[in-house]
Structure 1
Amino acid sequence: MPRLRLATINTNGIRAAYRKGMGEWLDGRDVDILAIQEVRASTDDITELLGPEWNVVHDEASAKGRAGVALASRRKAEIHRVELGAKTFDSAGRWLEADYDVDGTIVTVVSTYVHSGEADTPKQDEKWKFLDAMSRRLPALERHNELAVVVGDLNVGHTPLDIKNWKGNVKRAGFLPRERAYFDRFFGPRGKKVEGADGSTGRGLGWVDIGRQQAGDVEGPYTWWSWRGAAFDNDTGWRIDYQMATPALAARVKHYSVDRAESYDKRWSDHTPVVVDYDI
């Protein structure tokens, strides 16, 4: 059975990441499809950095030098889509879907970069809009293809296991109860009533958090650490980079890895790659 190795990484600027060592990581990782967030570069830049063997689809942000999501693969995307939500909603540079033919089986991959937000500000209003749009798109995505996966920097720690110092962050964007309630519904049993972290109720969508499924009920493993202080050295991090899959694709997971750098000086992003092997 063919293996599909899917990696996701928020590069915090792909050109800077390459200057710091991203290329060496990629060369040694045997990745089939690479999802990138916060590209902050042109499609030509991505292609030049990755090399001619990679086929790149890219959705730039409306504001130059901001956000940007991409998918790079050894195979060409059969089709790709960038629309999310109403036409009046600007999701440019934050949602990119592509269908890939993996030895005769179509797999749908989404690279997404959810807004970081800021509590009680217009930035948070944009995040609510994006999470609402995701909530509507996920069921349609599964109807489109039962083998689908949404990967990227989702900028929300779902439970206290996902943030080292969660008690000090319950009023901050990234761990607000209302944000976490969306994830309660994303990962809740399909069609069943789910009570969210904020006390709201809704219906579960049935998607699977591959990281939590594979790691179990343990702290982390974290995927983002501040550049400041000793956060990385003390492993004071957040798990905000996800691979979330339909149940049919989640059943095909063979290996999950968080590629944490060996030391602070070996980091090439404030995030770390999340790599999953699927049997297709």
Structure 2
Amino acid sequence: MTRTLRIATVNVNGIRAAARKGMMPWLEAAAVDVLTLQEVRAEASDLAAALPGWHFVNDEALAKGRAGVAIAAREPLEIWRTDLGDETLDSKGRWVEADIDVDGETVTVVSAYVFTGEADTERQVAKYAFLDAMEARMPQLGDGLALITGDLNVGHRELDIRNWKGNVKKAGFLPRERAYFDRFLGPAGQTVTGVDGSEGTGLGWVDIGRTFHGEVDGPYTWWSNRGKAFDNDTGWRIDYQLASPALAERVTGYTVVRAPSWDTRWSDHAPVVADYAVGLPVAD
């Protein structure tokens, strides 16, 4: 029987801090079925304390207090993976995927936290290596119902950053970074020319946020703590739900949950929430 599966993703900027500031009341009111988290910055015991009654899988960063990703659900999660690429790739605490059974259909959900990067440094080299591994993994997931969520730390288009002109040479809006998304979202199997002039093969995934909202600025998902970026809505859209073609056809709703005011936020990122119609029909 088809039902609505509500999936939310948010960079919590520390699960313990988010819990203290009001994450749980929001989560219960939002009627979320599956929650993907990034920048957890804590151990499994901290997740259990912050999400009582939820089932979760997680991958912790090697360094305490850094990165960390998780997927939490109302029902148990039994099959999950954290491998993204070979052992030389620095992906610890940045990629976890789980298979979720929904009334006979399997939905693969990923929580990803891409490196912030820094132009012309080793940090940017690590970011490109991670994006390379994502590009290799996505075709392996794309034939089924699959969803990559999280803080991907790239504004794909000019619509995704309020002050894009001031960021064209900065990590998060570099042409080479944006070209990955040109390929991720380009027509499947077709040659795609990226914004940086490179050519590659389109993977056919769908940016649910852009598809749902159309050609508008934002809606943004992250705001700097400097100045009055939040009050002025000078933000970035860097938190995504990227759906495989089959799952993209099942979208019934999407929203960015922007806090009503700066002082009511429980993270510097806004939750991104989407509804999907999943589940096999019951035979008569």
Structure 1 and Structure 2 fold alike (TM over 0.5)? yes
1:142-189 residue CA offsets vs partner (Å, 9 max, x unmatched): 24xx10000000000000000000001000000000000000000000
Question: Equivalents in 2 of 1:90, 1:172: separation in Å?
Answer: 22
Aligned pairs for 1:76-225 (under 5 A) are: 76-143=76-143, 146-225=144-223
Question: Equivalents in 1 of 2:49, 2:251: separation in Å?
Answer: 31
User: Tell me, which stretches of 5 or more residues in structure 1 are unaligned?
Assistant: none
What CA RMSD, in Å, does the superposition of the two structures yield over aligned residues?
A: 0.7
Give 1:78 deviation, angstroms: 3.3
Question: Equivalents in 1 of 2:80, 2:159: separation in Å?
Answer: 34
1:70-129 residue CA offsets vs partner (Å, 9 max, x unmatched): 000011123000000111212110000100111111100000000000000010010000
1:262 aligns to what? 260
1:42 aligns to what? 43
User: Tell me, which stretches of 5 or more residues in structure 2 are unaligned?
Assistant: 279-284
Instruction: Report the count of equivalent residues.
Output: 277
Q: Which deviates more, 16-25 or 104-113?
A: 16-25
Q: Secondary structure at the match of 1:181?
A: helix
**Structure 1 stretches of 4+ moved >3 Å:** none
Question: Equivalents in 1 of 2:78, 2:57: separation in Å?
Answer: 11
Q: What letter matches 1:171 in structure 2?
A: K
Question: Equivalents in 2 of 1:22, 1:242: separation in Å?
Answer: 19
**Contact 2:33/2:74 (<8 A) preserved:** yes
State the TM-score, normalizing by the size of structure 2.
0.96
2:228 aligns to what? 230
Question: Equivalents in 2 of 1:142, 1:160: separation in Å?
Answer: 26
Question: Equivalents in 1 of 2:186, 2:11: separation in Å?
Answer: 26
Q: What letter matches 2:164 in structure 1?
A: W
1:170-210 residue CA offsets vs partner (Å, 9 max, x unmatched): 00000000000000000000011111010111110000000
1:13 aligns to what? 14
State the TM-score, normalizing by the size of structure 1.
0.98
Question: Equivalents in 1 of 2:195, 2:90: separation in Å?
Answer: 28
Identity of aligned residues (%): 65
